[in-house]
Structure 1
Amino acid sequence: MTPPAALTVYYDGACPLCSAEIRTYQRSRGSERIHFVDVSGDGAPDTLGPDLEREAARARFHVRDEEGRLASGAMGFIWLWRQLPGWKWLATLGSLPGMPILAEAAYRRFLTVRPHLAKLFTRFLGAPCEAACRSPKT
């Protein structure tokens, strides 16, 4: 019997950058307690809980803990890193005073360049680049 998931991670599998990063986490020790949900496919529900719509999950990284609490952006990554032994050092660093604010600012900047990076990634690897390669609606 497998233990319940410590976190549910919602990610945009149509984004080649996102998929590559998620594969890295999935190969990490401790990932067996994390439920990874690709929200890009046609079969993904439009609503992923009372507080998360599919389009929001595609536009920004989200995680949900065992108690149903939702975190997104930099804080979502910090929650994920805390669950993976090889990444806990990054969660500790990201949790230092002031760091979550700086990390969130960096993440928001990344979101503006993500479509361009995804296109470059696609060119070099030949991976498909769907909605993730469009500019965000923000």
Structure 2
Amino acid sequence: MNTKHEFILLYDGRCPICRKEVAWLRSRNKYNKLGLQDIHAEEFIPKHYGKSLDELMAEIHGLFPDGRLIKGMPVFYAAYSAVGLGWLIAPARWPLLRPLFDSLYAWFARHRLGLGALFGAKTCQVGSCSIRSEHGKT
């Protein structure tokens, strides 16, 4: 892992909504503290992270310099914190609100590709509009 980053976000580059959020985070990544890795990039190998592509597609993951891999809502806090915007997502960590945000994210993760298509994004290719991978990359 490149240790110059405080955190590396592993994102679904085929998800139109995810790409928009990554573009937004990239625009705020002034000090390059956030690394961004598309899990569909040719050079990306999921088994280097101890995961299959299907597992990485099921929900968002991220990696700290010490090798800790996290998933779900904590990834958003770490990514936003790396670009100086942790305060935007801090309420998702509050004990009373965390279960709600965790549930909303779990629903979003399952439906993100369909939601992207619903909002007019035309990025689906044969076999790429499913949360489960079609090409068996592990």
TM-score, structure 2 as length reference = 0.79
Query: 2:81 is matched with which residue?
Result: 82
Q: CA deviation at 1:128?
A: 1.6
TM-score by length of 1: 0.79
Which residue does the alignment assign to 2:124? 129
Deviation at 1:113, TM superposition (A): 2.5
Structure-2 change in CA distance of 1:56 and 1:129 (3 Å): same
1:55 maps to 54
Native 8 Å contact 1:118 1:129 kept in 2: no
Q: Distance in 1 between matches of 2:110 and 2:31?
A: 28
Question: Residue in 2 aligned with 1:93?
Answer: 91
Letter in structure 2 aligned against 1:128: T
Instruction: Extract unaligned runs of 5+ from structure 1.
Output: none
CA contact (8 A) 2:57 2:131 kept: no
Are the equivalent residues in 2 in contact too, given 1:48–1:54 (CA < 8 A)? no
Aligned positions, number? 131
* 5+ long unaligned stretches in structure 2: 134-138
1:21–1:31: structure 2 CA closer, same or farther, 3 Å change rule?
farther
Cα distance in 1 for partners of 2:39, 2:123 equals 16
C-alpha separation in 2, matches of 1:6 and 1:81: 11
**Shift of residue 60, structure 1, vs aligned partner:** 1.2
Flag the structure with more relative contact order, 1 or 2, with Cα contacts below 8 A and sequence separation at least 6: 2
| 1:4 counterpart SS class | coil
Aligned mates of 1:24, 1:132 — CA distance in 2: 23
Aligned to 1:32, the other structure's residue is in SS state coil
Moved over 3 A (4+): none
> 2:75 and 2:22 mapped to 1: Cα distance?
13
* Percent identity of paired positions between Structure 1 and Structure 2: 21
CA-based RMSD: 2.5
1:70 Cα offset (Å):
1.5
Q: 1:37 offset after TM fit, Å?
A: 0.6
SS in 2 for 1:35: strand
SS at match of 2:47: coil
